Amino acid sequence: MVESTPTGRAGDGRVPLSGALREPGPVSVAALRSMPQREVTVTFECRTSGLRRHHFSGPLLLEVLQAAGPRFDAGERKDRLRFLVSVLGRDGHRAVLSWGEIDPEFGNTAALLAVRMDRRDLDEEGPHLVVPGDRCGGRHISRVAEIKVCADDPLWP
């Protein structure tokens, strides 16, 4: 079944990557699965549904974004700190991460774009953002529809 999204795109599991990238474009779940896979079991406390536990596997969000060529000076650590990553779910739920948060030289959070959840492939519904270590499940965004990378100062252009 094809599902419509807030961005008007069909739900074929492909995720558009856009923004401050040298090679923007949609990334398929198959492409995500061809990258080095990480596995993680996460436990989080949801305000409404209580204690949740899931097993995920997929590539690091950082590696997916690096492959799309973020427009920063790779040799200059501080330059990456200007970048934000906005992840949108098909239902309109959105969370924003900073590049510094997922960069190994800084926060080193091993955020995944999971292609498998609890032994279930996510090809049709689309990948999930997984942020290990979060106490609340709010940033485990299911059915990711779009990822945007934003540089510089998005609040006061």
Ligand X SMILES: Nc1nc2c(c(=O)[nH]1)N[C@H]1C(S)=C(S)[C@@H](COP(=O)(O)O)O[C@H]1N2
Where on the chain is the footprint of Mo ion (CB under 5 A)? Answer: 46, 137
Residue appearing with tokens 């995500």: 32
Nearer to ligand X, 56 or 72 (CB): 56
8 A C-beta contact, residue 6 and residue 16: no
CB of 32 to ligand X, least distance (A): 17
Round to whole Å and give the CA distance between 122 and 59.
Answer: 13
Site for ligand X, residues 38 to 57, rule: CB under 6 A: 46, 49, 52
Grouping H, G, I as helix, E, B as strand and the rest as coil, residue 11 is coil
Compute the distance between CA of residue 4 and CA of residue 135 in angstroms, rounded to an integer.
31
Residue 82 binds which entry of Mo ion, ligand X, none, with Cβ cut-offs from 5 to 8 Å by kind?
Answer: none
Question: Binds 10, which of ligand X, Mo ion, none (CB < 5 to 8 A, cut-off by type)?
Answer: none
Pairing state of beta strands 15-19 and 144-150? parallel
* Nearest-approach distance from CB 26 to ligand X, in angstroms: 18
Contact 96, 85 (CB under 8 A): yes
Nearer to ligand X, 13 or 89 (CB): 89
Positions touching ligand X (CB under 6 A) are 46, 49, 52, 89, 91, 93, 137-138, 140-143
